[in-house]
Amino acid sequence: MGKTILTVDDSRTMRDMLRLALSGAGHTVIQADDGVHGVEVLEKAGVVDVIITDINMPRMDGYGFIEHVRRGSANKMTPILVLTTESEPAKKMRARDAGATGWIVKPFDPEKLLAAIRRVSP
């Protein structure tokens, strides 16, 4: 069944790739360009099924965004997946400490992405 998924990434390329992979699997995709934008979009969108966020972003990075969401927004219990690379294990840990549910290693193939989503969302 299609889920509503918010992706937060400052890279247009990455946003496009996420949209392609997710909407191709029947999900509804909403997108934001950075943490601040993500918070704004979530305020309008209400509770979403899954959030996927990048770490390095202007204005508010992924850690700040996750902390903000976990600190008591409507999406406090929403699974959050972070986009990270294989070379950044420390980032994974830090994202987890901020409250991330899991991670997706870039560059991802759509299958891996969907598997990660399945693992965190019914």
Partner 1 sequence: MDPMEAIKQTYFQECDELLLAMEEGLIAMETGEADSETINAVFRAVHSIKGGGGAFGFEILVGFSHVFETAMDLVRSGKLDPTPDVVKVLLRAGDKLSDHVAAARNGTGAAVDDAEVKAELAKLTGEEPEDAGAPAPAEFEGLAFAPVMIDIGDEEPVAPPCPVWHVRFGPHAALYAKANEPYLLIRELGMLGPIEVTADLSKLPELSALEPEQAYFSWDVVVRDCPDRTKVEEVFEFVSGDCDLEITEETPEPAAAPAMISAPGLPSLDDDEPAAMPAAEAQPEEKKVATPTETKATTVDVIKQTIRVDLDKVDRLVNLVGELVITQAMLSQRILDSVQQGQTVSAGLGELEHLLRELQEAVMAIRTQPVKSVFQRMPRLVRETAAQTGKEVRLEIEGEATEVDKTVIERLGEPLTHMIRNAVDHGLETPEERVAAGKPAEGTVKLSAEHRGGRIVIEVADDGRGINRTKVRQKAIERGLITPNSNLSDEEIDNLIFLPGFSTATTVSNISGRGVGLDVVRRNIMDLGGRITIGSNTGKGSKFSLTLPLTLAVLDGMIVAVGEQTFVLPLSHIIESLLPKSSDVKAFGSNGMLLNVRGVYVPLVSVGRLLRVPGASYDLQNSVVILVESEGVGRMALAVDAIVGQRQVVIKSFESNIGHIDGIAAATILGDGRVALILDIDGLVAGCREGTGGRPTEYQQALGA
Footprint of partner 1 (CB under 8 A): 10-14, 16-17, 20, 33, 35-36, 56-61, 63-64, 70, 77-80, 85-94, 96-97, 99-103, 105-108, 112, 118-122
Contact by Cβ (8 Å): 100, 87: no
Nearer to partner 1, 11 or 28 (CB): 11
| Shortest distance (Å) from residue 58 CB to partner 1 | 7
- Compute the distance between CA of residue 18 and CA of residue 94 in angstroms, rounded to an integer: 23
Nearer to partner 1, 46 or 58 (CB): 58
Contact by Cβ (8 Å): 6, 32: yes
Alpha-carbon dihedral sign for residues 119, 105, 41, 60: positive
| Shortest distance (Å) from residue 4 CB to partner 1 | 15
